[in-house]
Chains A and B, each alone.
Chain A
Amino acid sequence: MIEISTQQIKGVVIVSLKGELDASSALAFDNKMGEVIAQQPKAVLIDCAKLEYTSSPGIGVLISRHGECQEKNISFALCNLNPKINNALKMLGLDQLITIYNSTHEAKSAMGAFH
């Protein structure tokens, strides 16, 4: 079960995830990401503060949507990853591919999302 909410601040869309991403819920996340990217924001920030778990389908969405954002010149980053999820992403080397910020404040500052 995943809850997804979005807000847009100065062209940066913040996608907040709450719950668990797995083979059952990743499709909803993928669809939401499709809608978000179609708006052609300047940046997409995935806030994982309340994301408790992700398996490979959720990680696959991150990889493919990150690639799509790169192609469309849209900045893409994650923030507030819990250490257990971060550990799994590191096993795949994703920490070398996707920008990960420690906090929302740090991410918003870097992506120009302050009011």
Chain B
Amino acid sequence: MKQSQQWEHSINLSCKRDSLSHLRQFARNALSKWAIPEEQQYLLILALDEVCANLIIHAHCCNDAHAIEVKIIRLPNEINFEVQDSKPDHFNMALYQVPDVRQIILEKKRNGLGLFLVKQIMDEITVEQRGSIKICRMKKKLSLPEASS
């Protein structure tokens, strides 16, 4: 963790489903240090879990020789998540149009719910290509009475 204008935690995850519980524990530890209310923590962790699960399962096919890096960055009034991935051909979530969730539910489908939740929970999602690295950034403004660090 570095101490400057922002606080940051990072973790490397191997691309296997079991990594998701480590990710949630890592995120829980970070967010609780920053006095984020539990209900908000839950939704933020859910969004991060959904994005990483999507990458691990669909982009990396659960190949545990691959890894992604996750950063949680606390700015005075917002939380940023950065997920860095070297797999070049996974889809761009920022451009992903969420399906009609009512239709998914009516048709008893299972796919599409996760990214719908991510877009509901986070305020801003961007994807940047930096050389061979793709970085998905997600921001959430915090509505805390007093932003603590």
The A-contacting residues of B in range 66-121, CB under 8 angstroms, are 101-102, 104-105, 108-111, 113-114, 116-117, 120-121
- B7 CB to nearest chain A CB (Å): 24
Query: Contact between A60 and B102 (Cβ–Cβ < 8 Å)?
Result: no
Cβ-closest chain A residue relative to B102? A93
Q: Is the interface of B mostly helix, strand, loop or mixed?
A: helix
CA distance A59 to B104 in the complex (A): 12
Number of interface residues of B (CB under 8 A): 30
Query: Contact between A64 and B17 (Cβ–Cβ < 8 Å)?
Result: no
CA distance A47 to B111 in the complex (A): 24
Known: A87-B39, A93-B102, A97-B105. A1 touches B21 (CB 8 A): yes
User: Which bucket holds chain A's interface residue count?
Assistant: 20 to 34
Known: A22-B21, A24-B18. A53 touches B105 (CB 8 A): no
- CB neighbours of A94 from chain B (8 A): 105
CA distance A70 to B40 in the complex (A): 33
Query: Contact between A20 and B113 (Cβ–Cβ < 8 Å)?
Result: no
CA distance A24 to B17 in the complex (A): 5
- CB neighbours of A1 from chain B (8 A): 21
- B109 CB to nearest chain A CB (Å): 8
Known: A24-B20, A55-B49, A97-B105. A92 touches B39 (CB 8 A): no
B127, CB-defined interface residue at 8 Å: no
- CB neighbours of B113 from chain A (8 A): 56, 59-60, 63, 92
B8, CB-defined interface residue at 8 Å: no
Cβ-closest chain A residue relative to B107? A67
B35, CB-defined interface residue at 8 Å: no
Known: A20-B21, A24-B17. A88 touches B43 (CB 8 A): yes
- CB neighbours of B20 from chain A (8 A): 22-24, 55
Known: A20-B21, A84-B42, A92-B105. A55 touches B110 (CB 8 A): no
A110, CB-defined interface residue at 8 Å: no
Kindly list 8 other residue pairs between chains A and B, CB separation below 8 angstroms, not including A22-B24, A83-B39, A93-B102: A22-B20, A23-B53, A55-B20, A56-B50, A57-B110, A60-B111, A87-B43, A88-B43
